[in-house]
Amino acid sequence: MPKSKFASTMKNRVKCENNIKQKFPVNQLWEWQTKQLCRPLFVLHSGPPYANGPLHIGHFLNNIQKDIIVRYKLLDGHRIDFRPGWDCHGLPIELKALQLNKTNSNKQNQITIRRLARQFATEELEKQKNEFHSWGILADWNNCYRTFNKEYIIDQIKLFWKLYQKGLLYRQYKPVNWSPTVQSALAESELEYNDKHTSTAIYVRFRLKNDPLLSSLLPQLNTENIYALIWTTTPWSLIGNQAVAVNEKLKYLFIKFPSTNDIYIVAESLLNNIKKYPPFSDNQFEIIGNCLGSQLSGVNYHHPIYHDDKTYPIVTSDHVTDELGTGLVHIAPAHGSDDFLLSIKYNLSCVNAVNTNGRLHCPTIESLHGRNALDSKDGIKSILEYLNSNILHHYEFTHSYPYDWRAKKPVLILGSQQWFIDTTRLRDNACKHISEDVKIFPEGAGKSFLSMITKRPYWCISRQRSWGVPIPVFYTKNENKELVINEEMIEHLIKSIQEKDSIDFWWSSTDIKELLPPSMHNQAENLIRGDDIFDVWFDSGSSFNSVLKDFNCHADLYCEGHDQFNGWFLSSLLLSTGLQSRAPFSNIFVHGFVVDKNNQKMSKSIGNVIQPSDMIYGGGKEKFLENGFDVCREWVTRESYKQQCKASTEDLNKAYKRVFDIRNVLKFILGNLYDYQPDKHTVSNENLTAIDRYMAYRLNQILTIYHTDFDRYRMYHGLIAVEDFIQGDLSSFYCSVTKDRLYCNPSDSYLRRSTQTVFYLLLKCLNERLAPVMPYLAQELYNELINIENKDKKINDIFENKFTILDKQLSEIPSELASAMTVVLHLRSTFHSVLQNRRGVLFDIILYLSDKAKLQLQQILNTLQKHPTTVKLDFWQPLEELLQCSRVQQRSLSDLDNDLTEENISSVDLPLLVLILSVRYKQRGHIADHLVEHHRKLPLSKVKAGTTEDVSQVTDEKNQNVRTTPHDFKYVYPDFLPNPIPFLRDRILEKLERKDMFRRRQQIDIPEFYVGSVLAVTSADPYAPSRRNRFVGICIQREKHGLKHEFTLRNIVDGLGVEIVYELYNPTITRIEVLKLERRLDENLAYLRDAPPEYCTFPFDMEPVKLPPGSGVPLNTIQVPITSTHWQYKWERHDLKGVLLPPLPRSVRKAAERYSEPWRQWDIMRQYRTEIHDEDRDEIFEDIEKHKQDLAQYRIDSKENIKIIRTRQKAAGRKAILDDSQQTKHSNPPTSK
């Protein structure tokens, strides 16, 4: 019996794993691997997390994934460079430091702010580092990088200077995203969009100047009261207005109100939209003229805010559309990118309507100046009151608006002098590097990366805060503030940083001469230092230039979440492309975001945040078990490749069970090696028994799959292959069939040693492949293996070894062995499928064989029984051993009549032979009540002839249920619905089609099912191994009528959505099973294509769900969330009851309203088209009743025919026996005694 100290229990896993950590610390392993200089180097560059708080579940998933990759590469024979790092600058840390110290940044000098921020970042960094270390992450913890270290800052300043020298950096006045809350510019990656933001939208009029151009457009009319009608959601920006833009190709109308003689200009295509609001909603106006937008160019208007004589122009621009508003757009160059470009084209001034605090900047108007621009009760209200009668209408408008992702407050677009990287010069090269030199895993994950690069606007790298690296430039004190920078200044600054061990002197120096080289001291009085700091994405994106200096600024792998495509990946790529004209990485691996059990993002406000410690040690709101690290690492491997990584008790419990099952299988294998010594008892490859040789070959196949997947960063796929092999090939098959020889044979017997040899290979190889994912289980098992190999050998860390590689001889097996195992495994599967958990050793298998089949089976037996000639085996029956039955008997087909009645006959279609198989209890030869489910059933006459011709059975006489017509068949039989187009109906053709439909229903039982039911459809398929194809899926739609009626099944197979459209009356369909009968809220479930996969994933071995007798058809009221961003159809435009749509932008909702069809509920013909109406009901009922009578008579006739066929077959059999005896009598004359 098995013997081992290896525990199968999973109790106290954390304690056990901590003991292993203490015995084999990661620091010790890291030091060992750094000395393996002969190994090739693998560089994993880790993106720096923010040092601003506790680690969360996303950090855990990311770092465990990196650790799995590192440990795999180490076992694969590499030396590793993996330096963790932290992003220590930026606004989150600055604000957190100020908050904890209860200070206001406005009241603190910059040195104090930097001191507080550095202190906070250092403390949080150490906390995070200790937690990372407790997770057992294998990395260079003694050489971490921090973005506030002087060496890192020096490298960053050098990078800045090199990019400046190449002309890739420039300073310019531009509108940028500005956060009034933190008083700093923001990059696009620092924004998040709030779809529920509410702005005050206004219709405001601009009075046009009376000039000849305007008079030419409206001759013989008074042009004193003509207005351009403007619509805007940013009333505060009117202060900065410098022009009005129109589209030169749009047609504009002149609308006159007779009551006031006021004339308004609006786009013709937007008139209906404007008529929704007063004063246009009363229709008390008339259209007096029209013109093209190009004709309005050159017309001038008076400013709505400043009541002076200055006029402003109407200009043309392509960015003006007729989708929203009035077709006339007010232009404020300081507050919009398109507006700014127009200002350059038409030489317009840039006037900031607000200051950096978000307050209105309008010194000449006291009632407006200093008001909060975004506050509807302050600045907005003041503007509305000031404009007074010039505002025709105002209302609250909900739309998507950018917010500061840190402060969670709305931002402004504000014109200011900022530093930019010229991305237009980098895009093409960056795209080329990604397309040609970089591989992104999982495959397809980086499809959007190229579009992000090409669409990336200018990158603003300057910020107006204190905690960061200063942009090392100076400006002249004159009005122009000219830029002053040179190489001598940069070298002096770098030298000063090295001497003073910090960059703080940039702010603390009272004498600017300290910041300048001696040669520039004479200019000091005319210079001022720059106050801007670098964007944190510039800080982190330049890490390759500092951390990877020893590796030519290049890494083998970057591994982060998919959100970093628009973050660290992109900033690193752009900076590296500018510096060294190549990408800083060869490979990118991305993982998904962690969500809760309801697929919701983790959020403190929702209260669904899961701490890593809860998953590891147990507890928390989810009440996790004590899973330990191995279980959590297994969960990470299985989930990380998904877009959404679900963390729930259910998912962790599944991982726990998988690890537990693996431990038990490995414990069994280990326990049977207690008396095995590899150097003494190993059986050579050529002398292994057939099953052992086959399992070694299967092991080699799995290892090949494993390494292929891990090398392509498909860790989840490689792990699943190994786990399935352990649970399937080993646990369910190999361990079972070898128990007799392991337990009952002599300890030193050939059969037992052969199996132990393969057991040892299996245990050693599989344990090493599990080690990157489950290092503690692997180390625990490795300790036991060392004792088997050599009890005196010192136990080392399992990761100080390399993967065991099997002999090339085991990578292939003879073709006859491969064929034999294919047949035996197929036969075994068929045999065990009918045992229904009964013991196989209680049954005999009787094989009825033709002469040809006997020869083929004998070849299989000869292959299975091969063994060394020096070994004598008297009682070894390998076929019985593999099938796990009592005995396998062979008989001729001629014995079939005497042994079995026809209903006991079942055939098994195998690759090499077709045989008749029966299963009997071994006690007294009684025939069992359960027989092998047939794959192909042959008539008795065909069996006797020994043919392998495929004769498909179209009916099953046994257990045939008499079908009854459902009481509400108009929903059960949508295939009987008439043609939905009334004038195309042909009642005679419909009746003939119904007859054909009923005739088909005699051949196959078509059950009741609906859209939403789960079905299994079996159809004939000449290319399938058994010439049958069975597909399971949910019915998502039924369409067409009559014989052309179709239904569609959907399921998720290997992560991909698979749909099969079946014709209900297609003769290739042999069986339709209803596994779950139910209806849904909608008559079409095509939206499941855009739903999460779990809503249409069904196992192919799904058991039927039985309903209580007499119960109605259940109605499933589930509402399916649609989470995809690129839908197949615009589902919001359909009246769907079973769909939960995400929040939609207002424009999308408006479009849906335009396409809505509320009149459908009053459509009288709809019921006529979708139901079997009264005038046809009696006729169809009559056909149904006749069909039932014909079906009953058909079954009676079939039974009579079966009796006649049996009688004829028995008579034919007796005649064949007499003919054979007569022939033998004449061919063999009697001999004398």
Residue 1176 pLDDT > 70: no
Report the percentage of the chain scoring pLDDT > 70: 84
- Whether residues 1139 and 1088 share a domain: the answer is yes
| Cα–Cα–Cα angle for 498, 45, 450, rounded to 5 degrees | 115
pLDDT digits (tens, 9 = 90+) for 999-1030: 788 778 888 899 999 999 999 887 777 788 99
pLDDT at residue 376, as a whole number:
86
Q: What is the pTM of this model?
A: 0.69
pLDDT at residue 909, as a whole number:
46
pLDDT at residue 1182, as a whole number:
67
Residue 945 pLDDT > 60: no
User: What stretches of 464-548 adopt beta strand conformation (E)?
Assistant: 474-476, 483-484, 527-529, 533-534
- Whether residues 234 and 359 share a domain: the answer is yes
Question: What total of structural domains would you count in the chain?
Answer: 5
Which one, of 104, 89, 194, lies nearest residue 409 by Cα? 194
Lowest mean pLDDT among 93-97, 532-536, 925-929: 925-929
Lowest mean pLDDT among 285-299, 748-762, 1013-1027: 1013-1027
3-state helix, strand, coil split of the chain in percent (to 5) is 45, 20, 35
- Whether residues 579 and 656 share a domain: the answer is no
pLDDT at residue 121, as a whole number:
93
Residue 1164 pLDDT > 60: no
* β partners of residue 226: 263
pLDDT at residue 1153, as a whole number:
74
The dihedral through the CA atoms of 837, 839, 842, 844 has a sign that is: positive
1035 phi, psi to nearest 5 deg: -75, 115
- Whether residues 844 and 908 share a domain: the answer is yes
Instruction: Supply 761's token pair.
Output: 């290979």
Which position has the higher pLDDT, 871 or 559? 559
Residue 24 pLDDT > 90: yes
Tell me what the mean pLDDT of segment 278-296 comes to: 88
259 phi, psi to nearest 5 deg: -65, -30
Distances (CA, A) of 8 to 635, 661, 670, 725: 20, 9, 11, 19
Give the CATH number of the domain where residue 101 resides.
3.40.50.620
- Whether residues 869 and 775 share a domain: the answer is no
Last residue of a domain, one of 811, 842, 863: 811
Instruction: Supply 518's token pair.
Output: 């001696």
pLDDT at residue 983, as a whole number:
58
Which one, of 111, 103, 105, lies nearest residue 184 by Cα? 105
pLDDT at residue 1209, as a whole number:
62
pLDDT at residue 110, as a whole number:
82
pLDDT at residue 966, as a whole number:
41
pLDDT at residue 1229, as a whole number:
45
Give the CATH number of the domain where residue 232 resides.
3.90.740.10
Most confident of 487-501, 676-690, 822-836: 487-501
Residue 981 pLDDT > 70: no
Q: Which domain holds residue 82?
A: 36-156+546-591
pLDDT at residue 999, as a whole number:
79
Residue 875 pLDDT > 80: no
What's CA 330's distance to the chain center, in Å? 43
Residue 906 pLDDT > 50: no
Does residue 619 form part of some domain? Answer: no
Cα separation of 761 and 699, whole Å?
A: 9
pLDDT digits (tens, 9 = 90+) for 1040-1081: 888 889 999 999 998 888 999 999 998 889 999 999 999 999
pLDDT at residue 280, as a whole number:
84
Lowest mean pLDDT among 432-436, 1087-1091, 1150-1154: 1150-1154
- Whether residues 316 and 277 share a domain: the answer is yes
The dihedral through the CA atoms of 1206, 1211, 1215, 1221 has a sign that is: positive
CB atoms under 10 Å from CB of 895, counted, come to 11
* β partners of residue 137: none
pLDDT at residue 774, as a whole number:
96
**pLDDT band at residue 829, thresholds of 50, 70 and 90?**
confident
Report the percentage of the chain scoring pLDDT > 90: 45
Tell me what the mean pLDDT of segment 268-278 comes to: 89
Instruction: Supply 627's token pair.
Output: 């899973």
Residue 596 pLDDT > 80: yes
Reported residue count of the chain is 1233
Which position has the higher pLDDT, 1066 or 923? 1066
pLDDT at residue 791, as a whole number:
66
Lowest mean pLDDT among 385-394, 694-703, 928-937: 928-937
pLDDT at residue 878, as a whole number:
86
Does residue 959 form part of some domain? Answer: no
- Whether residues 748 and 840 share a domain: the answer is no
CB atoms under 10 Å from CB of 191, counted, come to 15
- Whether residues 1020 and 1149 share a domain: the answer is yes
Q: Is 540 helix (H, G, I), strand (E, B) or coil?
A: helix
Question: Contact at 8 Å (CB) between 379 and 386?
Answer: no
Last residue of a domain, one of 759, 778, 811: 811
pLDDT at residue 254, as a whole number:
93
Question: Contact at 8 Å (CB) between 315 and 342?
Answer: yes
Does residue 823 form part of some domain? Answer: yes
CB atoms under 10 Å from CB of 933, counted, come to 10
Cα separation of 559 and 588, whole Å?
A: 6
Does residue 440 form part of some domain? Answer: no
Cα separation of 601 and 1123, whole Å?
A: 12
pLDDT at residue 926, as a whole number:
30
pLDDT digits (tens, 9 = 90+) for 27-82: 999 999 999 999 999 999 999 999 988 899 999 999 999 999 999 999 999 999 99
Cα separation of 878 and 1140, whole Å?
A: 58
Residue 944 pLDDT > 50: no
Does residue 837 form part of some domain? Answer: yes
Q: Is 398 helix (H, G, I), strand (E, B) or coil?
A: strand
pLDDT at residue 83, as a whole number:
96
pLDDT at residue 1187, as a whole number:
66
Give the CATH number of the domain where residue 976 resides.
2.30.30.790
Lowest mean pLDDT among 389-393, 494-498, 891-895, 1225-1229: 1225-1229
Residue 870 pLDDT > 80: no
Residue 1168 pLDDT > 60: no
Lowest mean pLDDT among 108-112, 299-303, 774-778, 959-963: 959-963
Instruction: Supply 1123's token pair.
Output: 């989470």
- Whether residues 50 and 144 share a domain: the answer is yes
Distances (CA, A) of 1022 to 1027, 1069, 1217: 5, 13, 36
What mean pLDDT is reported for the chain? 84
The residue with tokens 């007799």 is: 740
- Whether residues 981 and 846 share a domain: the answer is no
What's CA 66's distance to the chain center, in Å? 19
The residue with tokens 């300790």 is: 783
Which one, of 867, 940, 956, 945, lies nearest residue 1195 by Cα? 956
**pLDDT band at residue 691, thresholds of 50, 70 and 90?**
very high
Tell me what the mean pLDDT of segment 259-263 comes to: 88
User: Kind and range of the H or E element at 777?
Assistant: helix 775-789
What's CA 8's distance to the chain center, in Å? 34
* Phi-psi group of 713: left, alpha or beta (phi > 0 → left; psi -120 to 50 → alpha; rest → beta): left
Which position has the higher pLDDT, 205 or 869? 205
Last residue of a domain, one of 811, 845, 862: 811
Does residue 321 form part of some domain? Answer: yes
Does residue 393 form part of some domain? Answer: yes
Residue 1127 pLDDT > 90: no
Does residue 687 form part of some domain? Answer: yes
- Whether residues 56 and 144 share a domain: the answer is yes
CB atoms under 10 Å from CB of 385, counted, come to 11
pLDDT at residue 1231, as a whole number:
41
- Whether residues 986 and 939 share a domain: the answer is no
**pLDDT band at residue 166, thresholds of 50, 70 and 90?**
very high
